[in-house]
Chain A
Amino acid sequence: MKIKIKKEKLVMSITIGIACFALMLVMFMQFNMVKQTDITGIETMRESELRLELSSWNEKYNELNTIYQETVGKSEEYKNERESYEKTYELLSKELEQLNKALGKTDVEGEGIVIQLTDKAGTQLSEDVKVKRITEEDLLIIVNQLFAAGAEAISINGHRVISTTSIFSIGEEFLKVNGERIVEPYVINAIGNPDYLKSTVSGKGGHVDALKELGHETSVDINKNIKIEKYEKELHTKYID
């Protein structure tokens, strides 16, 4: 009798032991998985997202490859032409011109859009609601949306937007771009894919659309040939080592 009970107990303990062990194992597996589940990572992506991600990486690869080939080409040219002053001068000038273009130090033209914003501040919307003025933040958001949509060059009332451009409001009176005063109507020129640019700013969530809803007069026009002037001031680094 005594031995029987012991046997039963033993079986029971072993069963519970195995069950516990199995549970622990499953738990650890899951913990591991949870650890790997990066909310922003590809582990949680669905099929359609994954396809998009894949094609975007392939596209980026091709673009990078073009740049790589160009760099190889340039390097070879410098090596081969180093005896010739004229050729080297030409190579350097060509490189400098490309960089100047990217910096905004050259006039550029191409297809894109023209946004016009007429500030209707003060217009009575109802008895006690007036239209608020267009602020620097509105322009910042529009410029940001344009760059997000792939804009290659932007100007505000003729002032080229470059890497150090800030937009500031001086009191309630006027705005400053690149340190120069501008007054409304605000005209923003942007070169890039016109359809992307237009739908980004005037579609749902677009900030030009938002300003229109708030009571301002806005227009967005596609133009085949937009000219954007260069940044006129000197550009140099003073505090970068």
Chain B
Amino acid sequence: MNKKKISLILGLMCLLLTYGIAVQIKTIGGTGSVMSTNAEENQLRDAVLKAKEKYDNLYAELENMEKKLEEERTNATQNNTELTNLENAIKENNKLLGLTDVTGNGIIVTINDNQDIPLSNWFGDPNLLIVHDTDLMNVVNELKNAGAEAISINDQRIVTTSAIECDGNIIKVNGEKIGVPFVIKAIGLPESLISVDRFGGYLDYLKEDRFLKVDVQRADKEKITIPKYTGIMKFEYAEND
């Protein structure tokens, strides 16, 4: 009886340990790299974190300063129609440029990889079952064509100079890494934007030929919020003519 109990406990522990080891091997195999405890690397890691924090702090300060600038601008233009018009033009341009958070009606498109088809049953190219940078480019292009006024992918605002890049297995928008599911929000006339979900459109191709998971939601009554661009817009080469 006692022996049986001990065997059972030992057996259970072995099972637990094996499970733990299996999970770990899988994770490490997945990352493709071994954790490094090199002292110099750790120092660098700290330095990177500090640099990032410093940047974030300054960014928060900049946001406060932008609010202050807006206040000062309003103070300076009040009681004068001509100046107020100019101020409004600045506000409108900021919206168009992607420099302010915006809300409105529109649609939300969600695209995800197809992980349900086991690769052993799939005779095509496995790359077809995952979302690529060009897929997002095409969807964004169709949304623009349907009259979208503001677009974001996973909360990265699409501005004029936004690039959707592929960096190994990761997709970058505005230089920031994003992953599946890709949530594309667009503000515009919902009736018009929904045309991207038409037969023969790019989303149709993603669904029918690529078996990707595509979901399209109309936001007619509720509002969509699209955050502002958090990068830096600058000109070093282009000068006004």
Contacts and interface: CB of A to CB of B under 8 A. Distances in A.
Contact of A65 (B44, B58, B161, B223): B58
B170 interface: yes
5 contacts: A68-B62, A81-B76, A152-B237, A191-B238, A240-B104
A116 B52 CA distance: 41
Interface string A1-27: 000000000000000000010010001
B237 to A, nearest CB: 4
A88 B41 contact: no
Interface of A: 20, 23, 27, 30-31, 33-34, 37, 39-40, 42-47, 50-51, 53-54, 57-58, 60-61, 63-65, 67-68, 71-72, 74-75, 78-79, 81-82, 85, 88-89, 91-93, 95-97, 99-104, 106-112, 136-137, 140-141, 144-145, 147-148, 151-153, 161-168, 191-193, 227-228, 235-241
Contact of B145 (A39, A50, A107, A168): A168
B195 interface: no
A30 B87 CA distance: 57
Contacts of B234: 63
Nearest to B133: A144
A30 B158 CA distance: 39
B31 interface: yes
A107 B240 contact: yes
Contacts of A67: 62, 232
B89 interface: yes
Contacts of A228: 238
A140 B138 contact: yes
Nearest to B43: A50
A71 B76 contact: no
A92 B69 CA distance: 12
Contacts of B49: 42
A47 B31 contact: no
Q: Which 6 A-B pairs have the closest CB atoms?
A: A148-B163, A107-B241, A166-B145, A57-B51, A78-B72, A166-B144
A27 B45 CA distance: 24
B144 A92 contact: no
Interface stretch (B20-28, B110-118, B122-130, B210-218): B20-28
Interface string B84-95: 001101101111
A80 to B, nearest CB: 9
A74 B35 CA distance: 48
A240 B102 contact: yes
B77 interface: yes
Contacts of B119: none
A68 B23 CA distance: 47
Given A71-B65, A85-B80, A106-B240, 20 more contacts: A20-B13, A34-B28, A40-B179, A53-B48, A54-B48, A75-B72, A78-B72, A88-B83, A92-B77, A108-B235, A108-B240, A111-B237, A137-B137, A144-B165, A147-B163, A166-B145, A191-B238, A193-B237, A239-B105, A239-B106
Interface of B: 13, 17, 20, 23-24, 27-28, 30-31, 33, 35-36, 38, 40-41, 44-45, 47-49, 51-52, 54-55, 58-59, 61-62, 65-66, 68-69, 72-73, 75-77, 80, 82-83, 86-87, 89-90, 92-98, 102-106, 133-134, 137-138, 141-142, 144-145, 148-150, 158-165, 170, 177, 179, 187-189, 223, 232-241
A147 B102 CA distance: 24
A95 B91 CA distance: 11
A167 B160 CA distance: 14
A63 B232 contact: yes
Contacts of B179: 40
Nearest to A230: B241
Given A147-B162, A167-B141, A239-B189, A101 B31 contact: no
Give the one of A75, A109, A111, A228 with max B CB within 10 A.
A75
Contact of B141 (A31, A60, A140): A140
A63 to B, nearest CB: 5
B51 A58 contact: yes
